A and B are shown apart, each in its own frame.
Chain A
């Protein structure tokens, strides 16, 4: 059964304190791994797609990496506006367009 587990559940950082969020996954045939940002009261906002182990994507202070078992979202020198819930999802070749989401990591960045 396809499964996605994110850790930690919550992360509190000081502004400028870099850290990483983890997404461990089990999937029979990985079509893609996706990172989203979700602000309170809003729909998820797409950040990155990773397709194969070794792939990396960057956007501003965020960098996503992928191995055969997990993905990391590295946040460099975060700012308070980076505070949000970050969601990881996988798509299985055998399950059409279905996204399987993890529980998310709630990130809080204090000034």
Chain B
């Protein structure tokens, strides 16, 4: 399985600011996924990021709030813009397995907005 790292691991941010989360994979992958895990909740897909094309967002998530970059096959960023306390969550990136459909997750970024 791929080795996935995320930066930062955690952050405390003020309302109205933005935070960019990085996801690095040790192998080339076509698709990368960004999920959100709100306190006490399960994981919800924010968007799918393919290299060389615009990200595809799920219902309830918009590009202005969660812009995503995918400059190459091993890296992606997710920005949480104009943050409010409701954005306090764990943000996780994932990549698919090489020969099957499961996904492997990074360690997550724990974001607290005050």
Contacts and interface: CB of A to CB of B under 8 A. Distances in A.
Given A97-B31, A101-B42, A43 B108 contact: yes
Contact of A43 (B41, B45, B101, B107): B107
A43 B97 CA distance: 16
A97 B42 contact: no
Interface residues of B, number: 27
B43 interface: yes
Q: How big is chain A's contact interface, by range?
A: 20 to 34
Interface in A73-111: 87, 89, 91, 96-99, 101-104
B42 A87 contact: yes
Interface in B4-38: 4, 31, 33, 35
Given A32-B100, A101-B44, 15 more contacts: A32-B101, A34-B102, A43-B4, A43-B92, A43-B106, A49-B100, A49-B102, A87-B43, A97-B96, A97-B103, A98-B58, A99-B94, A99-B103, A101-B42, A103-B42
